[in-house]
Structure 1
């Protein structure tokens, strides 16, 4: 662990945790303005979390400790990924955890644990939501692995810090066919993993259409607050991953106050712009039918495969 990586890890922990609800508020405000509404303000998600944290923690009868631990596991895995992935600096605070396969495993662990907790309630909605979530997860995780692996071919490593550093030193590779294909595939993955339109609608409570909301219907109080915070943090992590891998400009490469400040500002600006663009796009799109979701994810997986093929056959691996 280097001083640059440690500084970046501490700053990222604060930025992702404190800024995730703010990003959610910005996205809601963007949607409200485009739909002709005034909106509740960008600070409303933080006010909602504060209200939930003040309530009493309750759990349905018959549930096990898994139901109670699932929010903590989801938050812990997301927090670890937020610290390990290089967002502010090119160095990682936990280089072994910053490996592609480790980060994907961490994010999948949180999702799988929440799905098991939904099954633990024994309700119809919990089982339905868990089944849908695991179906999406099984289709999304291979795409995530393959799309980032396409970038690792040129970098010669699956470590995300190494991939980001290689892109910073050779920015031309950002416009290569492999990078463009992988960026589109990772964008679809971000939409699916974070439950956004057209895969899922985070604002709906219709029983026949909801996915993520169906798994957390039995949660309330502090447990629900942890889940909502972790969900917002996952969105920041995926948008940050997209920006660091494909738009690494501004990321700090040296431990100087100016470079670190620039890295913080660049990370916040890029994630905010991507989040606002995602929210704006949702206004003009409708949620697709559940049975059409595999077609969308299969298309993103095909793009990821083409990205890997382009890395090998067009550019070739590093000698």
Structure 2
């Protein structure tokens, strides 16, 4: 129930972030967004910066990371994501953990592609793919270090503070969306 609450509260912010990013590409399809971002440098715009800040909050909430959830806890009263895993063991627990890691990687890759698209190869040439792959690994390493820093600096929020955290993500994403029209109009 707790995990569904967090997902329910972060989905509107995720949609607003996607809409904000799609304003720059002219499409809401993720492949079209990536294709338009790989053509040239992404413009530095306040709406994209605010959407990136909202994406960080959504990323932390959706992936059950600190300050929303502590993935290494074993206290039932403080668990959000880990409470679902209590009834699993062995290979089924490994599959659940693997799915959680895939979700984390997917969000990291979406964040990289939306807000730091430099190095996306425009063609499928081997040299471009190798260069883009190495650059992607470097970006993933940097984001992993930033995630470790965030988790080291912040304490877990109380469960009744989580809606405020996700509301902040929604407000930032809506502000970024509206700011695009204000500054471009």
Q: TM-score range, shorter-chain basis?
A: over 0.9
1:277 deviation in Å? 0.8
Corresponding residue number in structure 2 for 1:165:
35
Q: Aligned pair 1:299/2:158, yes or no?
A: no
**Contact 1:142/1:301, CA 8 A, preserved across alignment:** yes
Aligned length: 185
Say whether 1:265 aligns with 2:134. Answer: yes
Per-residue displacement from partner, 1:252-304 (whole Å, max 9, x unpaired)? Answer: 11111110111211222111210111112211110011101110110110011
Kindly indicate whether the alpha-carbon contact (under 8 Å) linking 1:154 and 1:311 is maintained by their aligned counterparts in 2.
no
Quick one: which of 309, 313, 316 aligns to 2:178?
309
**Kept after mapping to 1: 8 A contact 2:54/2:173:** yes
* Runs of 4+ in structure 1 over 3 Å off: none
Q: Gaps spanning 5+ residues in structure 1: where?
A: 1-130
SS at structure 2 position matched to 1:171:
coil
Alpha-carbon offset, residue 312 of structure 1: 1.9
**1:27: which partner in 2?**
none
Deviation at 1:171, TM superposition (A): 2.0
Q: Contact 1:151–1:311 (CA<8 Å) still a contact in 2?
A: no
Partner in structure 2 of residue 14 of structure 1: none
Aligned partner of residue 22 in structure 2, secondary structure: helix
Match of 2:11 in 1: 141
TM-score normalised to structure 1 length: 0.56
Q: Gaps spanning 5+ residues in structure 2: where?
A: none
For each residue in 1:26-81, what CA deviation from the matched residue of structure 2 results, as whole angstroms up to 9, or x when unmatched? xxxxxxxxxxxxxxxxxxxxxxxxxxxxxxxxxxxxxxxxxxxxxxxxxxxxxxxx
Decide which of 67, 70, 74 is 1:198's aligned counterpart.
67
Answering whether residue 185 of structure 2 is matched by residue 185 of structure 1, we say: no
Deviations 1:64-109 (A, max 9, x none): xxxxxxxxxxxxxxxxxxxxxxxxxxxxxxxxxxxxxxxxxxxxxx
How far residue 165 of structure 1 moved from its aligned partner, in angstroms, is 2.4
Partners of 1:275 and 1:148 lie apart in 2 by: 22
Q: CA deviation at 1:209?
A: 0.3
Other-structure match for 2:149: 280
Q: Secondary structure at the match of 1:286?
A: coil
In the alignment, which residue of structure 1 is the partner of 2:22? 152
Q: Matches of 2:84 and 2:50 in 1, distance apart? A: 32
Alignment check: 8 A CA contact 1:147 1:304 kept: yes
2: distance between equivalents of 1:305 and 1:153? 13
Structure of larger gyration radius: 1
Give runs of aligned pairs for residues 53-202 of structure 1, distance below 5 A. Answer: 131-173=1-43, 175-202=44-71
C-alpha distance in 1 between matches for 2:141 and 2:135:
10
Following TM superposition, by how much is the alpha carbon of 1:154 offset from its aligned partner in structure 2, in angstroms?
A: 2.3
